[in-house]
Chain A
Amino acid sequence: MKFERYGIGIAKGLMVTLKTLFRHPTVSQYPEQRLHTSRRIRGNELAWDRQKCTGCATCAKTCPQGVIEIVTSTNLVENKYAVEKYQVDTGYCIQCGLCVEACPYEALFMGYAYERAKYRRSELVENKEDMMLESGKKQPSGYFYPEIAAKLPRQTLLVEKITEKEQ
């Protein structure tokens, strides 16, 4: 194994590193500068529309992990099911989005927020009141619903922020 090329390969590598030293770094300072996530982000929670939901439990049957728990009773006055308990364990959820795709009445949405850390695992379980869309605390994301996605801000893309010379 000969020591060929007299160190020219090493010199080329050093030039590349030196050029990178003077370029703008491709990082963002997180808490002060938040980038916009995708409009279809499958965030950390679910948002539930109580008016449209009929209690059919298709979402609970589709969930691969079994995190959705629904208890219904009959409500003969309005002639439909009354949902008594709708509980989601967001700590066990893998954010796959199959429940959102499965709902036939378009009553379930993925959440847009992703900064939802809590101190206790039991606080991650969300019951009926937390889940409701009209509580105002939830922002639905555009996963599977293009009309919601059109209203959310545009995603920040790295291909547009840093430009290198194009071919």
Chain B
Amino acid sequence: MVIVNPNVNLGNLPTLSPDWPGGFWWHWLLFTVIIIAVVIVMIMVNVYIARRQVGRMQSRVGPNRTGPFGIFQPLADALKVLLKEGIEPASIDRLIYWLAPVVAVVPVLLIFAVIPFTDGGMLADLNIGILYVVAISSISTVGTFMAGWASNNKFSLISAMRVIAAIVSYEMPVVLSIASVLLLVGSLSMNDIVLAQQDIPFILLQPLGFVIFFIAGLAEISRSPFDLLEADSEIVAGFFTEYSGIKFVLFYLVEYGEAFFFSCLITTLFLGGWRGPALPEWLWFIVKAVLVWFVIVWLWATLPRVRIDQLMALAWKFLLPLALINLIITAIQVLALPEGSWWVMIPVNFAVTAVLILLWSKLFKLGWGRVEV
């Protein structure tokens, strides 16, 4: 049976919380504006935090000239790139070249519709929230592949192939670790997942799931140490080598938008969403998302890149079996233990995590890498 708060309303789920004023259409309009504004502002904030943090970690200062402490730097960058000329090579596949940024950007904006900023404060409280997230976030992969193909450039094609292979492989550990969280909640709606973390956040109940989701999610959004999809020391810039101007801004928005979305998703699923003692709820949400982003940038500044076959080996041989084992163990615990006994689950789960990671690291073998020619 479910271990968490049994007051979660599973049966009759309204699509509109009662305390939002106006009718359905006003709610929709307000939240569309809020989501677009929040996404763009938070992307700029994230870019600023990343540049300052990476700068300090490299014992230099980040940008500090445009505006006080350099806070207008992302705005200046965006304006500069928007005003640039969009240079197109002559031998591209024109329709696909123009459509690719659009196909990549639209899903990134769509998936923000189901992230709960406060209790019920989202565009649409779908009762299949997580399924919607997993489905829509895969569509931007098609966009990046279109970009790599249409550029008529061997570097972009190599990058597009890597993108397809990597993102398809990492879907599985992501979905399986999400499924283990859903076993604890019992509902697919994102708001219910946050409501269910009333006593403790799920990071304590699901440490192995958190680790797997973090690593697999980093690979999904192709950030370091898995940023070989746009590795700019090997394949110049990957699939968006031939893009400049507004189309380049759209791809940049895809990358940072997915990263922001990933931090929001971790906050919702594992860190307790908008819960917190003193501050307003949406502020706690933003604080937690920024904290996750800090950790992501910390990893980006420190770690070297993995190679493509090591990336695939990590997904199929390391993360996928661990995710399956995690799912089975969580299922056994949910069925066997009585309600509210999370104080038994936590040490058991941490012990299982430690044992599994140590054991699997000993057994995990990468391929040697050299191919006989």
Contact = CB atoms under 8 A, between A and B. Distances in A.
Contact of B303 (A3, A13, A21): A13
Interface stretch (B53-61, B73-81, B148-156): B53-61
Given A1-B365, A3-B318, A4-B361, A20 B59 contact: yes
B362 interface: yes
B151 to A, nearest CB: 34
Nearest to A1: B366
Interface residues of B, number: 24
Interface residues of A, number: 19
Contact of B357 (A6, A16, A26): A6
A3 B57 contact: no
Given A1-B366, A6-B361, A21-B53, A13 B59 contact: no
Contacts of B369: 1
A6 B56 contact: no
Contacts of A13: 302-303
A26 B57 contact: no
A20 B367 CA distance: 35
Nearest to B53: A21
B364 interface: yes
Given A13-B302, A13-B303, A27-B61, A20 B365 contact: no
A150 interface: no
B298 A14 contact: yes
B358 interface: yes
Contacts, number: 55
A25 B56 CA distance: 7
B299 A14 contact: yes
Contacts of A14: 298-299, 302
Contacts of B364: 2-3
A17 interface: yes
B302 A25 contact: no
Given A6-B358, A14-B302, 17 more contacts: A1-B365, A1-B366, A1-B368, A2-B361, A2-B362, A3-B361, A3-B366, A7-B357, A10-B303, A17-B302, A18-B57, A20-B59, A25-B56, A25-B59, A25-B60, A25-B61, A27-B61
A120 interface: no
Interface in B295-309: 298-299, 301-303
Contact of A2 (B302, B358, B365): B365
Contacts of A1: 365-369
B55 A25 contact: yes
A116 interface: no
Interface in B37-76: 53, 55-61
A137 interface: no
Nearest to A3: B364
A25 B53 CA distance: 12
A20 B53 CA distance: 10
A25 B64 CA distance: 13
Contact of A17 (B298, B357, B366, B367): B298
